[in-house]
């Protein structure tokens, strides 16, 4: 079958994913140090500043930083999964419908696990 990407396209995908992974790890480091700074600040603050009227409270910044860390962690997991698919020959095929993912989509998002149709369907479907 000729659905799978050819070896040079796979090699290019592997390199792009490797770069994306390093970038994500750098982002993780900076978000993680932000989380740790906030944790330290929070430890020094009085316990009841939850309703500070002077702007965002430490706890909301903390929540945001933790949410960002979660986003970066899932991006890394997505990249790792894509790298695993490169190795076992399923890279570039939609995990939901099995059809090839368009080269344009892979170029924009090398870690894409589904084709655009399936991604749209998934984001539309009610939870
Ligand atoms: Zn699909």
Check which CATH number belongs to the domain holding 51 and give it: 1.10.287
Rounded to the nearest angstrom, the distance between the alpha carbon of 22 and the centre of ligand 1 is 27
Given this model, what pLDDT does residue 21 score? 97
Q: Which domain holds residue 75?
A: 7-93
Residue 121 is assigned to a structural domain of this protein: no
Rounded to the nearest angstrom, the distance between the alpha carbon of 122 and the centre of ligand 1 is 10
**For residue 48, what is the enclosing H or E element?**
none
Residue 123 is assigned to a structural domain of this protein: no
Given this model, what pLDDT does residue 71 score? 96
Residue 15 is assigned to a structural domain of this protein: yes
**Total structural domains in the chain?**
1
Residue 112 is assigned to a structural domain of this protein: no
Rounded to the nearest angstrom, the distance between the alpha carbon of 97 and the centre of ligand 1 is 4
Rounded to the nearest angstrom, the distance between the alpha carbon of 4 and the centre of ligand 1 is 14
Q: Are 4 and 45 in contact (CB under 8 A)?
A: no
Q: CA 111, CA 35: separation in Å to the nearest integer? A: 26
Given this model, what pLDDT does residue 57 score? 72
Rounded to the nearest angstrom, the distance between the alpha carbon of 120 and the centre of ligand 1 is 9
Rounded to the nearest angstrom, the distance between the alpha carbon of 100 and the centre of ligand 1 is 8
User: pLDDT per position in the chain (127 positions), as tens?
Assistant: 455 678 888 899 999 999 999 999 999 999 999 999 998 887 886 655 555 555 567 788 889 999 999 999 999 999 999 999 999 989 999 999 999 999 899 989 999 999 999 999 988 866 5
Residue 101 is assigned to a structural domain of this protein: no
Q: Which one-letter DSSP state was computed for residue 114? A: S
Residue 80 is assigned to a structural domain of this protein: yes
């Amino acid at each position: 079958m000729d659905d799978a990407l050819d070896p040079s396209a796979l090699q290019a995908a592997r390199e792009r994913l490797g770069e994306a992974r390093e970038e994500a790890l750098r982002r993780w480091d900076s978000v993680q140090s932000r989380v740790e700074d906030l944790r330290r600040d929070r430890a020094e603050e009085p316990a009841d500043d939850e309703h500070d009227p002077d702007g965002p409270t430490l706890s909301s910044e903390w929540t945001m930083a933790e949410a960002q860390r979660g986003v970066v962690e899932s991006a890394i997991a997505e990249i790792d999964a894509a790298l695993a698919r490169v190795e076992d020959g399923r890279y570039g095929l939609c995990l939901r419908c099995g059809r090839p993912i368009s080269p344009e989509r892979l170029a924009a998002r090398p870690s894409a696990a589904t084709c655009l149709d399936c991604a749209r369907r998934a984001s539309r479907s009610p939870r």
